[in-house]
Every structure is written in C-alpha cells, then in structure tokens.
C-alpha cells in the first residue's frame, strides 16, 4: 500500500539507504513517456492521402516535443499517431468480438488523442500555434479529424493493420523493472512487508466510520462542502437516470455531460480538515513561475474526472474527486516525506444500481492507498505472497439523504475517518471543476500543464525517492498525473487498473 507512517518509513529509509549508497546511480532513472515510434508496414500508408495525414501528425508531435508540451496522461500506440489509449480500453484488446465493439473501441481512442492534442496545442506558444496552422486552431483540428476518420476506416479494412493495432494497444507499467535488481529487491521487500504491516495496524487502531469526538483533536476543524448540495429526491432521480442509461458497446453506461455533472454533485464528499497552517487549506494549483507550482487557497476547488473499471463482465462508472494543498510541511530537516504540494484523490465506484460499491483514496503521489468496501463486496480470504496486501476498511452506509464526510489530519493529511451524515453545513463552499483544467493552466506567457512530460509535477520531489528506488517506484513521493499513479511498493499495482476490484474482492 505504497507509503507508511512517518516512523515506519524513516526506519525503512535508513535500512534501504545502506543499499542505496552502493547503488545510487540506478536510482536516477526516470519514467519514460507513454509513447513509441515504430510503425507497421501497411500498404495503404504509402498512398498520397496517408502520407499527408501521417506527415501532419508527425509535424504536430515534433513541435509539441520541441516545446516540452507533450501530455503524459494517455498512451500513444506505436504506428498509430491518431490514437491514444488508457488501461480500461487496453483491457479490451483481445475481446473485440464484434464490428460494433471494434469501431467503438477505435473511436474512443481517437477521441482521447483529439482531446490530448487540443491540450498540447493550447500549451504551445502563440507564435508556434500560428506556424503549425496559419488558418487557426479550428482549421487544424478539422483537418486532423478528417485524417483520423480516414485512418480509422483504413485500419479497420486492413486485417494486418488491425492485428498489429490490437497487439500494441497496451499501457506499459509505470514501474521501472531495471531498478528491481536480483538479490536487492527481495531483501528490500523484507523491510517493506514490516512497514506495510505496521501501517495497516496503526490505521485499523484509529480509523472509524463514526464522527470522531471533538475532544480527539486540539486543532480547529474546517468543513468544506460543495456549493450545491442535491436534495434526496434529486439524488434519487439522478441515480434512476444512471440506471436507465443505455450501455455502450463496451458495456459502460452512456452518460452525457448533464447527468455526469449531477452524479458528481450526488457523491461529492464533505472534507473536514484539522487546520494548523495554510498548508491545510484546500486550494487550486497555479504556476507561481514557469518552474514553481503553488496552490491558491483563496480558490476553493475540487477537481473531478470520470473513469471506468471492470467487474465480472460489467463495466462500471467511477467518479474521481481531487483536492490540493500547498504542501506537506516537513517536521525537521531529516523528514523524507515533506515537500511542496500535497493532495488526495477520492474515488467512488458505482454498481449497476447506481449505489456506491467501493470507495478508495490515494494521496496524489499514489501513496497511502485505502479501500473502503460496502456490503456488495467481500475481500478475498487470502492474497498471493507476491503482492502487497491491500489496506481494506469498511465503508459507511449510503443514503440519498446523507453525504459522505472525510476527516483529515493536519500537516500530513491522513484519512482518520469516513462517515455519512445528514448535516451538510460547512465553513467553506468549494467549486467543482474538471480535472482537465489542470492540464492547461494560464501563465503570464500563455498556458502550461501542471504536469511534465513524464506525468510528475516538477518541484514536488521528496527525499524518499533516494531510498525507495529499488522498489521500481520512480520519483517516490512526487505528485503525479492521473493515469500515472502506482500504489504499491512490494508488487506492482496501478490506481487505474481496470481489474483491481476483481483482484482484491469477490462480488456478493
């Protein structure tokens, strides 16, 4: 469960550190961007139209690379520049048993690429945008859309291209296998397992599904709630609309923007945070300079994005809520875990009925993965010795008349309690905004993504990265972009793994 309490991780850091001193140079490895450059040799690609389209994509990509504006949140497919994929779509690569599924699968990957290119274009200097397309943004993306549609049609019509595409539509692991040296990684795991066990024990001793007593904290609590709280009747109608929504060819509910926004409001949590300093205030990230990110605590924002997961042949909707803090302040100069920016992602997985099946949470580094399961899921009785044991906790009961409240500690922003209550009053109201806004933040010189081309936020590095690299987790502790979160040290586990629930639970 990637990350332990401070005491455990200091001990582990010292133990792993003795190995690191001898092997420090491999610890400097970094994540590779999610793309490749090879291409299938398909006959139609030598045609004039194909040559024109592929050259246009190549010019766009080279320009983006030159200006370090590449988005790392989706994976490029070698030889198919008009497509990008994610782990959910990649999980269907060998299950496309109908033309309808295949066509939809391709179109979804093309949509992802189009959205990413719009972000990348926005983050280019204005003068460069004009060089790419003197006719303007609309003309450029109309041309790319025409090319994308034509290339999709051609690839579907050519079995050789289709076979190559299916085999290569994969998302690589975000772990660095070269860091897991034979003889070193098993030794490191001995310390890791002790750290995981200690963290689990500490959480189980203190976690509660009830509102903690005020006497348990000497610090003031600030409650953040969404600007708009839906009534129980509005929530009931929203969940009914979701239940009646048609399913797309991959089995996921077809949710339009209006319904999606209502769903985000329905399950938006209340945050109750112990507040000691300004680092405990929720805010909105911005670029203080082109090299220094910060969080504006006067702009109370919770960012949202939908994802999908798979369970027993069904594709389920997930609602993701992301908050940010200025920092996790260091306790002293030896603190390995403190640094600039901190934050959490709270995820709600909805069952076929529309009711929550599972809640889970991570810090925005991928740290401290906690899973809160409801009555519809039973944890598997045993787990393989090769995987990191998950931290499984009970979820509070759900009612349309209630709202989930998440209580966080000051400074390290650890989850202390998750409970449901009818009281929706708050000290501060927050606004819901799409996560995509973080990918193109305004600066004095134009726009810049919060994340670099490898999916990290520069300037948020933690000292722990020098001790935990033998686990294969690159840049441990740094804030990461969605789609790039690794959540385990001992084994490999990705937050967006569409088979995660199946790996850990049995559906009742």
What pLDDT, in 10s, does the model give residues 393-409?
Answer: 999 998 999 999 999 99
Measured at the CA of 359, the angle between CA 354 and CA 361, to 5 degrees, comes to: 145
The whole-number pLDDT of residue 386 equals 85
Please tell me the distance from the alpha carbon of residue 88 to that of residue 18, in angstroms, as a whole number.
39
pLDDT at 498 over 70: yes
How do residues 359-399 score in pLDDT, each as one tens digit? 999 999 999 999 999 999 999 998 888 899 999 999 999 89
Which pLDDT band holds residue 14 (cuts at 50, 70, 90)? very low
How do residues 412-463 score in pLDDT, each as one tens digit? 999 999 999 999 999 999 999 999 999 999 998 999 999 999 999 999 999 9
The whole-number pLDDT of residue 23 equals 30
pLDDT at 126 over 90: yes
Q: What share of the chain is helix, strand, coil (3-state, %, to 5)?
A: 35, 25, 40
Q: Give the E-state strand segments of 68-210 in sequence order.
A: 75-77, 80-85
pLDDT at 182 over 90: no
Which pLDDT band holds residue 240 (cuts at 50, 70, 90)? very high
The whole-number pLDDT of residue 272 equals 97
Nearby residues of 393 by Cβ (< 8 Å), 6 or more positions away: 203, 204, 207, 370, 371, 372, 373, 418
Please tell me the distance from the alpha carbon of residue 105 to that of residue 488, in angstroms, as a whole number.
30
What letter would DSSP give residue 17? H
Which pLDDT band holds residue 214 (cuts at 50, 70, 90)? low
- Least confident among 141-145, 207-211, 264-268, 413-417: 207-211
pTM exceeding the 0.85 threshold for the entire prediction? yes
Which pLDDT band holds residue 3 (cuts at 50, 70, 90)? very low
Closest Cα partner for 12 from 21, 3, 24?
A: 3
Domain ranges of the chain: 43-168, 212-507
Please tell me the distance from the alpha carbon of residue 505 to that of residue 372, in angstroms, as a whole number.
11
Q: Across the chain, what does the average pLDDT equal?
A: 91
The whole-number pLDDT of residue 384 equals 86
372 in Cβ contact with 359 (< 8 Å): yes
The whole-number pLDDT of residue 188 equals 84
Higher pLDDT, 260 or 2: 260
Percent of the chain scoring above 70 in pLDDT: 91
The whole-number pLDDT of residue 185 equals 76
Which pLDDT band holds residue 189 (cuts at 50, 70, 90)? confident
Which pLDDT band holds residue 17 (cuts at 50, 70, 90)? very low
Closest Cα partner for 410 from 325, 332, 286, 296?
A: 325
Which pLDDT band holds residue 43 (cuts at 50, 70, 90)? confident
Phi-psi region at 65: left, alpha or beta (left = phi > 0; alpha = psi -120 to 50): alpha
How do residues 485-495 score in pLDDT, each as one tens digit? 999 999 999 99
pLDDT at 2 over 60: no
């Amino acid at each position: 469960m990637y990350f332990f309490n401070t005491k455990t991780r200091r001990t582990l850091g010292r133990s792993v550190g003795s190995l690191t001193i001898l092997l420090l140079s491999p610890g400097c490895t970094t994540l590779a961007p999610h793309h490749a450059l090879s291409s299938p040799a398909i006959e139609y690609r030598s045609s004039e139209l194909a040559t024109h389209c592929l050259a246009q994509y190549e010019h766009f990509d080279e320009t983006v690379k030159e200006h370090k504006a590449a988005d790392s949140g989706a994976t490029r497919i070698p030889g198919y520049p008009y497509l990008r994929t994610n782990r959910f779509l990649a999980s269907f690569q060998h299950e496309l048993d109908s033309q309808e599924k295949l066509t939809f699968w391709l179109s979804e990957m093309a949509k992802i690429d189009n959205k990413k290119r719009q972000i990348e274009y926005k983050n280019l200097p204005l003068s460069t945008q004009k060089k790419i397309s003197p006719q303007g943004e609309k003309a450029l993306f109309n041309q790319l859309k025409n090319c994308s549609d034509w290339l999709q049609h051609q690839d579907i019509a050519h079995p050789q291209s289709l076979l190559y595409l299916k085999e290569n539509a994969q998302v690589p692991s975000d772990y660095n296998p070269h860091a897991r040296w034979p003889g070193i990684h098993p030794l490191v795991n001995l310390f890791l397992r002790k750290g995981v066990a200690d963290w689990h024990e500490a959480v189980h001793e203190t976690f509660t599904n009830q509102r903690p007593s005020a006497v348990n904290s000497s610090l003031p609590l600030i409650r953040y709630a969404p600007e708009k709280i839906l009534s129980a009747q509005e929530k009931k109608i929203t969940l009914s609309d979701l239940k009646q929504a048609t399913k797309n060819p991959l089995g996921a509910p077809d949710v339009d923007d209006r319904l999606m926004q209502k769903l985000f409001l329905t399950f938006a949590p209340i945050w109750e945070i112990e507040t000691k300093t300004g680092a405990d205030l929720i805010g909105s990230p911005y670029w203080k300079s082109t090299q220094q990110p910060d969080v504006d605590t006067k702009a109370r924002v919770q960012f949202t994005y939908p994802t999908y997961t798979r369970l027993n042949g069904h594709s389920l909707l997930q609602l993701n809520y992301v908050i940010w803090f200025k920092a996790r302040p260091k306790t002293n100069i030896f603190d390995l875990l403190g640094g600039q920016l901190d934050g959490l992602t709270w995820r709600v997985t909805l069952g076929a009925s529309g009711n929550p099946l599972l809640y889970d949470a991570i810090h925005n580094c991928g740290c401290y993965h906690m899973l809160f399961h409801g009555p519809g899921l039973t944890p598997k009785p045993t787990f393989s010795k090769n995987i990191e044991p998950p931290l499984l906790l009970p979820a509070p009961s759900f009612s349309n008349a209630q709202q989930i409240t998440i209580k966080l500690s000051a400074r390290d922003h650890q989850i202390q309690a998750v409970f449901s209550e009818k009281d929706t009053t708050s000290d501060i109201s927050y606004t819901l905004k799409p996560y995509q806004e973080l990918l193109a933040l305004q600066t004095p010189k134009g726009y810049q993504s919060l994340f670099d081309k490898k999916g990290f936020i520069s300037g948020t590095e933690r000292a722990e990265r020098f001790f935990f690299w033998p686990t294969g987790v690159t840049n441990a502790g740094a804030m990461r972009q969605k789609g790039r979160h690794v959540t385990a040290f001992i084994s490999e586990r990705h937050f967006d793994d569409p088979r995660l629930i199946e790996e850990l639970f049995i559906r009742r």
